[in-house]
């Protein structure tokens, strides 16, 4: 398999995996709105696995691009645009656009989910403070003597 075909295969796998990650963020958002903490925890574990896969795919993509540069005697950093120009294959430009679009969407969803989490934490904090007001009234901070009646 030629190295440019291997790069295309890795890029296709990256796009597929980023779409999975995007779907997980959508599910996470729905669970955050429903305040389903157990499901959010499950999704978080799956997200960790997907992120690890994305890291491995990115390392492989970088390795393949470096190998392509060495085989073809190119002594500079190669990005997807440059790779498209060198190979004459327009699919690299299309895949770059898909990746950028997915990454921007993921970034926006991540920010929104982060805002939902912050609001939930503030809600919990406010409720905790409210209930602590009643707890303080029942348990005064002053020390005293316990009196009992003996018969």
End-to-end CA distance of the chain: 96
User: At residue 121, does pLDDT exceed 70?
Assistant: yes
User: At residue 95, does pLDDT exceed 80?
Assistant: yes
Name residues whose C-beta falls within 8 Å of residue 87's C-beta, 6 or more positions apart in sequence: 4
The candidate with the shortest Cα–Cα distance to 102, out of 90, 110, 114, is 110
Q: For 26-30, 40-44, 74-78, which range has the lowest pLDDT when averaged over its residues?
A: 74-78
Tokens for 143, please give them. 């020390």
Tokens for 117, please give them. 């989490």
Burial environment of residue 28 by CB neighbours within 10 A (0 to 12, 13 to 18, 19 or more): buried
How far is 145 from 63, CA to CA, in rounded Å?
75
Contact 99, 14 (CB under 8 A): yes
The CATH architecture assigned to 3-116 reads: Up-down Bundle (1.20)
The pLDDT value recorded for residue 2 is 62
Count of beta carbons in the 10 Å neighbourhood of residue 75: 6
pLDDT 10s digits, 15-36: 999 999 999 999 999 988 888 8
Is 0.85 topped by the overall pTM?
Answer: no
**What residue segments make up the domains of the chain, in order of their start?**
3-116
């Amino acid at each position: 398999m030629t190295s440019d075909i291997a790069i295309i295969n890795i890029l296709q796998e990256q796009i597929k995996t980023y779409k999975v990650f995007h779907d997980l963020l959508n599910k996470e958002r729905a669970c955050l709105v429903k305040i389903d903490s157990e499901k959010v925890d499950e999704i978080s574990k799956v997200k960790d696995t997907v992120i690890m896969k994305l890291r491995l795919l990115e390392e492989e993509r970088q390795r393949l691009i470096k190998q392509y540069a060495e085989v073809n005697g190119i002594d500079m950093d190669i990005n997807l645009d440059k790779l498209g120009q060198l190979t004459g294959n327009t699919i690299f430009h299309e895949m770059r656009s898909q990746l950028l679009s997915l990454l921007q969407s993921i970034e926006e969803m991540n920010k929104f989910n982060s805002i939902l989490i912050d609001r939930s934490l503030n809600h919990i904090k406010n409720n905790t403070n409210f209930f602590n007001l009643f707890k303080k009234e029942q348990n005064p901070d002053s020390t005293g003597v316990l009196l009992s009646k003996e018969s």
